[in-house]
Amino acid sequence: MARCRNLVFILGDQLSMSISSLSGIDRERDVVLLCEVAEETTYVRHHRKKIIFILSAMRHFAKELSAEGYKVRYIKLDDADNTGSFTSELKRAVEDLRPDSIVVTEPGEWRVLEQMRGWHADIGLLVDIRPDGRYLCSHDEFKTWAQGRRQLTMEFFYREMRRKTGLLMEGDAPAGGRWNFDSENRSPAKQDLFRPRHPRFAPDETTRDVMKLVDLRFGDHMGSAEGFAFAVTRKDAEQAADVFIVDFLPKFGETQDAMISGDPFVNHSLLSFYINIGFLDALSLCQAAERAYLEGKAPINAVEGFIRQIIGWREYMRGIYWLFMPDYAQRNFFEAARPLPDFFWTAETQMACLSTVIGETIENAYAHHIQRLMITGNFAMLAGLDPHALHEWYLEVYADAYEWVELPNVIGMSQFADGGLLGSKPYAASGAYISRMSDYCENCRYDVRKKTGEGACPFNALYWDFLARNAEKLSANRRLAQPYATWRRMSEAQQKTYLDSARAFLQKLDDGVPV
């Protein structure tokens, strides 16, 4: 390729035709760079389906760019002269194309932003790092919202986003008379044999090439290429979104918290992969959901719940990440240090809830929100697993995981490792919650009704042990007044039985004894 004017560097989770780095591009004189690099595929050992998804999506996006008349320099993972990192590939492109400047959109991870900030000094060219326009709330806007607040309550942030976007607003009032319909979205698990199937996309030749490459090169990463059926083009992702609005959105609310054996997706959208990578525009998706409500095709509790997840939780998590990084990643309020048990990678445990959720994660690189929060997350917090190791696990195993969204969900929402910056109380639950919201306990070797001793559900004793060992840090929390009152009412002997039961279980974990 001849000398170019601007080198536009697009990362693997920026696959959108309207990404800010492409704005004002000159198709004749500028070149777009995309590169598959070893550093990104291995800085944690990503699930094989996640790597396949990202690399195949990048290859398809590059073809789309070329078809639109852009000049593209595309580096494949197995190209002989691939140097293996963003910085070294950028340098190689600069040597070959001798651009006047580099244009990028800010990345989704602190680690990569640090690299970008070093490029000007390292390469000697002007580096234009542009804001990412795919989000509703800019960093400055979030900072302004957060300033002076004692608690960063998501619900209030969400209302601002509703007002800003006009979604589900009737003048100044929320549609349906309430901002939040969550209380209607807690129905327990129920098998539904008539539930439609989520769309699956057969791999084309490009994807099949990537599948072979990934199986060959990442044999020691979780999962396998077999059964890969993600959309890898914007067009197919848009089709998945259309199917969701018609087939699943109407029941999205009522089953949002339900966990059902053999039904890993329930009525969830399975769209986070495509929103996060840039194939779907978050606001347009919410507008499509709102249309379904206005046309009487989906109820308010479902549509409000769905929109809240996206313009509320998703935007809020991004705000928290950029406001509190880099030290947020090191937060460890409970000083938890236990390594993750092997069954986090094998699913080999007799606890049916964990073996089901981890098994589905290995199979699909996906688990829905309540599975992530109340099964793996809840267990990790109760058992005192190291939150940093857990964060790396979540980043590895889910195909939608990038640090900006994964880290606050793990450190903040699920582990309370930030000491309550994000949540008002830890999401800690005993077996009774899991039994109410799932059918997992029906096929478990443990008895959810048994509190302690041989055969008792481990979550029961772990729950009380967690509260007891963290009483200094938690007992003043008003939202935990009731469980602490119950704990205090127990006889010393009963308390001891719980603690002994939990300690015996944790000892087994430490000794690597199957549980």
Which positions touch ligand DLZ (CB under 6 A)?
A: 11-13, 35-37, 40-41, 46, 51, 54, 107-109, 112, 402
CA-wise closest residue to 310 among 418, 423, 154: 154
Residue 254: CB minimum distance to ligand SF4, A? 22
Q: Which span (50-58, 128-136, 432-440, 496-504) binds ligand SF4, by CB under 6 A?
A: 432-440
Residue 73: CB minimum distance to ligand FAD, A? 29
Decide: is 353 part of the binding site for ligand SF4 (CB under 6 A). yes
CA–CA separation, 144 and 127 (whole Å): 27
- Binding partner at 317 among ligand SF4, ligand DLZ, ligand FAD, none, C-beta below 5 to 8 Å by kind: ligand FAD
Residues forming beta bridges with residue 170, ordered by sequence position: 173
Q: How far from 117 is each of 21, 324, 330, 372, 397, CA to CA, in Å?
A: 16, 18, 22, 33, 28
Q: How far from 405 is each of 259, 321, 477, CA to CA, in Å?
A: 22, 7, 27
- Binding partner at 13 among ligand FAD, ligand DLZ, ligand SF4, none, C-beta below 5 to 8 Å by kind: ligand DLZ
- Binding partner at 310 among ligand DLZ, ligand FAD, ligand SF4, none, C-beta below 5 to 8 Å by kind: ligand FAD
- Binding partner at 49 among ligand FAD, ligand DLZ, ligand SF4, none, C-beta below 5 to 8 Å by kind: none
* Residue in the shown chain whose Cβ atom is closest to ligand DLZ: 12
Residues 259, 438 contacting (CB under 8 angstroms):
yes
3-class DSSP state for residue 247? helix
Return the residue of 293, 394, 416, 505 that touches ligand FAD, per CB under 6 A: 394
Residue 402: CB minimum distance to ligand DLZ, A? 4
CA–CA separation, 515 and 512 (whole Å): 9
Decide: is 383 part of the binding site for ligand SF4 (CB under 6 A). no
Contacts of 280 by beta carbon, 8 Å cutoff, 6+ apart: 234, 237, 238, 241, 271, 274
Decide: is 260 part of the binding site for ligand FAD (CB under 6 A). no
Task: Tokens for 222, please give them.
Answer: 């979780």
User: 């267990």: which residue's tokens?
Assistant: 379
Decide: is 412 part of the binding site for ligand FAD (CB under 6 A). no
Residue 123: CB minimum distance to ligand DLZ, A? 18
Residue 471: CB minimum distance to ligand FAD, A? 25
Which amino acid, 64?
E
User: 């008002």: which residue's tokens?
Assistant: 424
Residue 372: CB minimum distance to ligand FAD, A? 4
Cis peptide before 408 (omega within 30 of 0): no
CA–CA separation, 285 and 414 (whole Å): 26
Return the residue of 145, 158, 179, 398 that touches ligand FAD, per CB under 6 A: 398
- Binding partner at 313 among ligand DLZ, ligand SF4, ligand FAD, none, C-beta below 5 to 8 Å by kind: ligand FAD
Under DSSP, the state recorded for 220 is T
- Binding partner at 107 among ligand SF4, ligand FAD, ligand DLZ, none, C-beta below 5 to 8 Å by kind: ligand DLZ
Q: Which span (110-118, 364-372, 427-435, 482-490) binds ligand SF4, by CB under 6 A?
A: 427-435
State which residue, 379 or 440, has the beta carbon closest to ligand FAD.
379
Q: How many residues bind ligand SF4 (CB under 6 A)?
A: 14
CA–CA separation, 515 and 513 (whole Å): 6
- Binding partner at 369 among ligand FAD, ligand DLZ, ligand SF4, none, C-beta below 5 to 8 Å by kind: ligand FAD
Site for ligand SF4 in 445-484 (CB under 6 A): 446, 448, 457-459
Decide: is 259 part of the binding site for ligand FAD (CB under 6 A). no
Decide: is 435 part of the binding site for ligand SF4 (CB under 6 A). yes
Cα atoms in the Cβ-side hemisphere of radius 13 Å centred on 423: 21
Give the distance, in angstroms, between the CA of residue 67 and the centroid of all CA atoms in the same chain.
32
- Binding partner at 393 among ligand SF4, ligand FAD, ligand DLZ, none, C-beta below 5 to 8 Å by kind: none
CA–CA separation, 226 and 41 (whole Å): 19
Q: How many residues bind ligand FAD (CB under 6 A)?
A: 28
Contacts of 45 by beta carbon, 8 Å cutoff, 6+ apart: 218, 220, 221, 222, 396
Residue 340: CB minimum distance to ligand FAD, A? 14
Return the residue of 10, 93, 374, 434 that touches ligand SF4, per CB under 6 A: 434
Decide: is 280 part of the binding site for ligand FAD (CB under 6 A). no
User: 């500028």: which residue's tokens?
Assistant: 30
Return the residue of 409, 460, 470, 501 that touches ligand FAD, per CB under 6 A: 409
Q: How far from 515 is each of 295, 348, 506, CA to CA, in Å?
A: 51, 9, 10
CA–CA separation, 127 and 102 (whole Å): 5
CA–CA separation, 184 and 205 (whole Å): 45
Cα atoms in the Cβ-side hemisphere of radius 13 Å centred on 23: 13
Counting beta carbons within 10 angstroms of the beta carbon of residue 200, is it exposed (0 to 12), middle (13 to 18) or buried (19 or more)? exposed
CA–CA separation, 487 and 119 (whole Å): 56
Decide: is 352 part of the binding site for ligand SF4 (CB under 6 A). yes
Interface residues toward ligand SF4, by CB under 6 A = 351-353, 431, 434-435, 440-441, 444, 446, 448, 457-459
Interface residues toward ligand FAD, by CB under 6 A = 268-272, 275-276, 306, 309-310, 313-314, 317, 368-369, 372-373, 377, 394, 398, 400-401, 405-406, 409-410, 413-414
